[in-house]
Amino acid sequence: MSSAIGKGPVRSGLVAPLLLDHVNTDVIIRSRDIPPRASDDFGRALFACWREGTGETFVLDRPEYRGASILLAGANFGCGSSREAAVWALRDAGFDCVVAAGFGAIFRANCVQNGIVPAVLDPAWHSELAALATAGPVEVTVDVERLAVVLPDGRAAPFPLDPLQHLQLATGRTAIDLIDEHTAAIARFVDDDARRRPWAVPTTSEEAQ
Amino acid sequence: MKTRRPRTTRPPRTTRRQSVVEKIWARHVVAELAGGTALVHIDRVLVHDRGGGLTLRKLTDAGRPVARPAAVVATADHVVDTRPGRTGASEVPGGEVLLAELRAGARRHGLRLLDVDDPGQGIVHVISPEQGIALPGLTLVCNDSHTGTVGGIGALAWGVGTTELEQALATGCLLMAPPRPMRVELTGIRPAAVTAKDVALHLAGVLGEDGAAGCTVEFTGPVVTGMSVEERLTLCNLATELSARTAVVAPDDTTIEYVARTPLAPRGELWDAAVAEWTALRSDPDAEYERTATVDCGALQPQVTWGTSPAQVIGVGGRVPAGPERALTYMDLRPGQPLLGLPISGAFIGSCTNARISDLRAAAAVLRGRTVAPDVRAICVPGSGAVRRQAEAEGLDVVFRAAGFSWREAGCSMCFHAGGESFAGQRVVTSTNRNFEHRQGASARSHLASPATVAASAVAGAIADPRVP
Ligand code: SF4
């Protein structure tokens, strides 16, 4: 279980702007399009409900944004369902960063678990990058070590990450590896807890009857 | 509505008064890590068929056991068939694989599985409080965004993705940032015909779809203390649609009476110890919150959504506001148009929001002696097997059937469209929680409302006011 996740701390790429607010995970990947196995390609289904039959009008299908690896989204991106498939769809379609004005909390956590950087820019930087990216194809660098999105002119737009997520994205360490460093503390807690809160120890249905 | 922004300075931790959320959190911290992140003990893990089997497979492949199998319950709810006489198969593309993986994984890891033939089976967030799997003061996670529903009994419950689910299964813990408490106080005297669903939809409208972004909402105030536990579950269920991280109602006597009747509740001395602890789970009077909001419920009407987000909502007698073009186009509505009288061809009562016994009673009260309009496809899916059996004992199934509703086995059913049955192309009044584009089927137009409003609309063949006889 200790395989590293993600692509390392510094990622550069083309920005695809999808500047809508409250894009939910049902839209990112429809439930019925989610393949049953983890090894399947989820990228094919990314935004299918908005792309089907639209030719090259949807931003990700426009020739100038082909090969984009950084998605620029609006506010509350990835709200709604907890489906991690939404993140896998982005990952399999080649995205390793999502820059947004805000994220749904579960989506954001899922990004980190899969090595995708969820970067929240403050409104001024967000609209500046939005203006740049909608004017034409632009490449930026998302630097996890500096916690900044570096624009083509070299200016750095800062973004926050909580320290643990920062560590995970910078080192590629999985949360399970990090938790495993505390095995003894967990065992102690479970023991103490059974004494402090005996009522909280799970009862099976057989015992209850 | 009053909203207070975060304060910049806080008194030192030792002297701070705590909210109920912080009290439950503090009881579960195994270790504090850098920057306030904590390793948190998870008392219960719920696993459902949509992604649960895949997660158990990953553990098997890694040769990793489940840390505390007795703390885990798996249920088949999302992709199971809900038609009478079901076999445990799935019509959803890939659904057979999902169910087979869940069954094999539960067997291999020694987990209790509530399969379609188990009397305890049902929608995960309906069965966990109903069976006493979730209890006040516990921490709980599930691979589903509406896990915060069980905050209605005073548990601290989070929806997680499958990777975090895997962590919780393998270690019994999660790494988490501390909760950001937000208090939402509901004041006024709620009119009799206004349900918890109407209150929750109104809240979404007032606060917006990111009105509680990242926060843990504690619902307080006279409207909340006056609610039954089932109503509180509905209220907490919809907090997800404000982008809350989770929601909670501090346990009180109403909660304790409810929990006492659940099959897995602690008994004897354990019960007394539990009650002593639950009684202390109140927010201190001067507890601090990152944000607060107060919403008056005194003048509320039954609510119906007009758009493609639960926050796009109005009173049933209102007119469609000028809203985002995309939502209006999808819903085929014009600003200024009344919702009352808008023809529908689908009616759905079900889901973790509104498929408990009180919901079914409310809908049946509207349906008794009446019939569904000729062109309306009306479906009632009880939230759990226990709800279905109780409804049948009360004769509610007869009322639903006589009215022209299809009466189903428990499951998520057409709350979402996974490729099996759907309301494709139909306009539907639905007791569920999401009216997203295509949520209930390709091009389905969903109007969220309470079970009573769904029932009244099914009879009228159009969006209707449940208060009008
Ligand atoms: S009933 Fe609907 S919202 Fe609730 S868990 Fe099932 S699919 Fe999700």
What does the DSSP assignment read for B44-55? EEEEETTTHHHH
pLDDT at B34: 76
Nearest CA to ligand 1 atom 4: B352
What number of other Cβ atoms are within 10 A of residue B10's Cβ? Answer: 11
pLDDT digit string, tens, across residues B130-142: 999 999 999 999 9
Of A80-84, B30-34, B251-255, which has the strongest mean pLDDT?
B251-255
Task: Tell how far the Cα of B272 is from the centroid of ligand 1, in angstroms.
Answer: 34
pLDDT at B67: 97
Average pLDDT of the segment spanning B4-19:
58
Task: Place A56 in a pLDDT band, splitting at 50, 70 and 90.
Answer: confident
Q: Which of B379, B380, B383 is nearest to B355 (CA)?
A: B383
Residues of B in contact with A32 (CB under 8 A): 92-93, 417-419
pLDDT at B1: 44
Task: Tell how far the Cα of B412 is from the centroid of ligand 1, in angstroms.
Answer: 5
Report d(CA B301, CA A202) in Å as an integer: 42
Position A90 pLDDT exceeds 60: yes
Position A208 pLDDT exceeds 50: no
Q: Please check whether residue A125 is in contact with residue A79, taking contact to mean a CB–CB distance below 8 angstroms.
A: no
pLDDT at B2: 44
Q: Could you tell me the fold of the domain covering B39-177? A: Aconitase; domain 3 (3.30.499)
Say if A205 is an interface residue toward chain B (CB within 8 Å): yes
Of A132-146, A159-173, B12-26, B335-349, where does mean pLDDT reach its minimum? B12-26
Cβ <8 Å between B266 and A186: no
Say if A24 is an interface residue toward chain B (CB within 8 Å): yes
Report d(CA B188, CA B296) in Å as an integer: 5
pLDDT digit string, tens, across residues B319-375: 999 999 999 999 999 999 999 999 999 999 999 999 999 999 999 999 999 999 999
Average pLDDT of the segment spanning A13-20:
96
pLDDT digit string, tens, across residues A64-76: 999 999 999 999 9
pLDDT at B8: 42
Say if B213 is an interface residue toward chain A (CB within 8 Å): yes
pLDDT at A204: 65
Position B461 pLDDT exceeds 80: yes
Position A162 pLDDT exceeds 70: yes
A73 φ/ψ angles, rounded to the nearest 5 degrees: -115, 175
Position B213 pLDDT exceeds 60: yes
Q: How far is B171 from chain A (nearest CA, A)?
A: 7
Task: Place B439 in a pLDDT band, splitting at 50, 70 and 90.
Answer: very high
Q: Please check whether residue A88 is in contact with residue A111, taking contact to mean a CB–CB distance below 8 angstroms.
A: no
Which DSSP string do the residues of B92-108 spell out, in sequence order?
STTHHHHHHHHHHHHHH
Position B397 pLDDT exceeds 70: yes
Nearest chain A residue to B214 by CA distance is: A105
Sheet with B346-349, side-by-side order of all strands: B405-407, B377-380, B346-349, B427-430, B445-448
pLDDT at A4: 61
Report d(CA B288, CA B207) in Å as an integer: 20
Nearest CA to ligand 1 atom 2: B415
Q: Please check whether residue A6 is in contact with residue A169, taking contact to mean a CB–CB distance below 8 angstroms.
A: yes
pLDDT digit string, tens, across residues B230-244: 999 999 999 999 999
Q: Please check whether residue B435 is in contact with residue B309, taking contact to mean a CB–CB distance below 8 angstroms.
A: yes
Name residue A154's amino acid. G
Task: Tell how far the Cα of A163 is from the centroid of ligand 1, in angstroms.
Answer: 33
Average pLDDT of the segment spanning A8-32:
93
Position B5 pLDDT exceeds 90: no
Report d(CA B377, CA B344) in Å as an integer: 9
Cβ(B431) – ligand 1 distance below 6 Å: no
**% of chain A residues with pLDDT over 90:** 79
Report d(CA A41, CA A61) in Å as an integer: 18
Orientation angle between helical segments B52-61 and B95-109, nearest 10 degrees: 50
Helix%, strand%, coil% for chain A, nearest 5:
40, 15, 40
pLDDT at A78: 96
Q: Which of B144, B149, B178, B139 is nearest to B164 (CA)?
A: B144
Task: Tell how far the Cα of B309 is from the centroid of ligand 1, in angstroms.
Answer: 16
What number of other Cβ atoms are within 10 A of residue B53's Cβ? Answer: 24
pLDDT at B469: 82
Q: Please check whether residue B171 is in contact with residue B62, taking contact to mean a CB–CB distance below 8 angstroms.
A: no
Grouping H, G, I as helix, E, B as strand and the rest as coil, residue B255 is helix
Beta strand B112-114 with B173-176: parallel, antiparallel or unpaired?
unpaired
pLDDT at A32: 87
Hey, where are the domains in chain A? 10-173
Grouping H, G, I as helix, E, B as strand and the rest as coil, residue B429 is strand
Task: Tell how far the Cα of B446 is from the centroid of ligand 1, in angstroms.
Answer: 15
Q: Could you tell me the fold of the domain covering A10-173? A: Aconitase; domain 4 (3.20.19)
What is chain A's length?
209
Grouping H, G, I as helix, E, B as strand and the rest as coil, residue B415 is helix
Task: Tell how far the Cα of B145 is from the centroid of ligand 1, in angstroms.
Answer: 9
Cβ <8 Å between A113 and B163: yes
For B212, which DSSP code?
T
* CA trace torsion B243, B248, B254, B258 (10° rounding): 80
Mean pLDDT computed over every residue of chain B = 95
Position B160 pLDDT exceeds 90: yes
Cβ(B233) – ligand 1 distance below 6 Å: no
Cβ <8 Å between B243 and A110: no
Cβ <8 Å between A83 and B161: yes
- What's the CATH class of domain B304-460? alpha beta
Position B14 pLDDT exceeds 60: no
Report d(CA B24, CA B18) in Å as an integer: 10
Q: Indicate if ipTM > 0.85.
A: yes
Nearest chain A residue to B174 by CA distance is: A179
Residues of A in contact with B31 (CB under 8 A): 182, 185
pLDDT at A207: 52
- Tell me whether the CATH fold assigned to B39-177 matches the one assigned to B304-460: yes
Q: Please check whether residue B121 is in contact with residue B77, taking contact to mean a CB–CB distance below 8 angstroms.
A: yes
pLDDT digit string, tens, across residues B268-281: 999 999 999 999 99
Q: Which atom of ligand 1 sits closest to the CA of residue B433?
A: 3
Nearest chain A residue to B159 by CA distance is: A82
Q: Which of B162, B169, B269, B272 to mutate to test the interface with A (most CBs of A within 10 A)?
A: B162
Hey, where are the domains in chain B? 39-177, 304-460
Q: Which of B465, B196, B427, B458 is nearest to B317 (CA)?
A: B465
Cβ <8 Å between A82 and B263: no
Of B33-37, B80-84, B238-242, B382-386, where does mean pLDDT reach its minimum? B33-37
pLDDT at A192: 97
Choose among A36, A109, A162: nearest Cβ to B98: A36
pLDDT at B419: 81
pLDDT at B398: 98
Position A203 pLDDT exceeds 90: no
pLDDT digit string, tens, across residues B295-314: 999 999 999 999 999 999 99
Position B457 pLDDT exceeds 60: yes
Give chain B's end-to-end CA distance (angstroms, integer).
33
Helices (H), B134-181: 162-171
Report d(CA B158, CA B160) in Å as an integer: 6
Residue A99 forms beta bridges with which residues?
A72, A119
